[in-house]
Amino acid sequence: MKNSDPIYVTRPFLPPLEEFIPYLSEIWAGKTLTNCGPFHQQFEKALCEYLGVEHIALFTNGTLALITALQALRISGSVITTPYSFVATTHSLLWNGIRPIFSDVDPVTLNLDPTKIEAAITADTTAIFPVHCYGHPCEVEAIRKIAEKYDLKVIYDAAHAFGVEDADGSILRHGDLSILSFHATKVFNTFEGGAIVCPDLQTKQHIDHLKNFGITDEVSVVAAGFNGKMSELNASFGLLQLQHIDGVLTRRREIDSRYRILLKDVKGIRCLGKSGELVANCAYFPILIESDYTMSRDLLFKMLADRHIFARRYFYPLISDLPMYRDLLSASRSNLSVAGDAASRVLCLPIYPDLRDEQVDAIAAIIKRG
């Protein structure tokens, strides 16, 4: 591999430019640029069909969708969540004046450990806020039972989980709401974008009002909403991206399998996730560097970077270690020992549709050599 050929952890998928031109021509001709125009409507419908869900509300980005989802269900007090995620998960609680309660993750899935949730519930807890980290599904049934017992809402941050299915269909049908991100770095992108998956039309309509200033008609404003609407440019691009997503997912699965085979017998390297009955999206390729590997995670990270292979330490640092959260009682390292250990060992390897087999082989060879 040439040194001048850097490899990043992810690269956005873009369809051939000429395929986007007809969409642009239509926008230019119609002059509807936003406010839930024709492409917005078509994209919502097409997404529902592709994902196998009932209702979707599109957003400017995933973070505004998370903030709105918590607003829509009037979540308040405290919420149980994972420290092992992207900061937007916990930030969206703060934007709603909600106190996060961090609970530890499961050592195999690195998702919220259901056996630890009950002990974290307090008198003012109103919801559980798990993340399908890396697109690996949470233990949805165990979480549902706890929520039912304590009368809590469940909102899934499904930013990584586009297209993931369990034995009965889309993973997005679990919980009260699920949130997607279509950011450039995600499996499915609209440059920037996001969505809330809703179980019923009434909730979707409420969310649609919230993302449009709370306006319901020309003379009525029913809530202090904000502007979270996806533009026609992003929505039309999403429609085009949907035509390519199956190919994107197939290529990601090929790369995932290739890494797994190449790294199978490397001492001290554990590949996270598994296939089985589940339809995975291979959004990330996280490995854990165990203590019997030839070097630490940070040394491996540096060794790869020296060869212009830019893996990422997702998720490090833990959200609970950041200045705005670390003084919370639940942020203590003793409460989050599994998450803390994972954050110090994890490395996400490059995975994206344009990554070539020989690049995967070269990355695996460097790791194998140690």
Ligand X SMILES: *Cc1c(COP(=O)(O)O)cnc(C)c1O
Residues of this chain that interact with ligand X (CB under 6 A) are 61-63, 85-86, 88-89, 131, 157, 159-160, 181, 183, 194
Q: Nearer Cβ to ligand X, position 37 or 62? A: 62
Spacing of C-alpha 180 from chain mean position? 6
Using Cβ positions, the residue closest to ligand X within the complex turns out to be: 62
Q: How far is the CB of 182 from ligand X (least distance, A)?
A: 7
Q: Nearer Cβ to ligand X, position 162 or 293? A: 162
Q: Nearer Cβ to ligand X, position 293 or 314? A: 314
Q: Nearer Cβ to ligand X, position 194 or 263? A: 194
Report the interhelical angle of 245-263 vs 357-369 (nearest 10°): 30
Q: How far is the CB of 212 from ligand X (least distance, A)?
A: 18
Spacing of C-alpha 308 from chain mean position? 26
Q: How far is the CB of 168 from ligand X (least distance, A)?
A: 23
Q: Nearer Cβ to ligand X, position 269 or 348? A: 348
Residues annotated as part of the active site: 186
> How do 309-310 and 7-8 pair as beta strands?
parallel
270 to 85, 235, 336, 344, 346: CA distances (angstroms): 19, 38, 21, 14, 9
Using an 8 Å Cβ cutoff, are 61 and 159 in contact?
A: no
3-state secondary structure of 108: coil
Q: How far is the CB of 234 from ligand X (least distance, A)?
A: 11
3-state secondary structure of 22: helix
* Helix count and strand count (H, E) for the chain: 12, 16
Sign, Cα dihedral of 293, 296, 297, 299: negative
Q: Nearer Cβ to ligand X, position 194 or 273? A: 194
Burial of 283 (0-12, 13-18, 19+ CB in 10 A): buried
Phi then psi for 60, rounded to 5 degrees? -60, -40
Q: How far is the CB of 86 from ligand X (least distance, A)?
A: 4
Q: How far is the CB of 173 from ligand X (least distance, A)?
A: 19
72 Cβ contact list (under 8 Å, min separation 6): 177, 196, 203, 206, 207, 210
- Distance from C-alpha of 140 to C-alpha of 89, rounded to nearest angstrom: 18
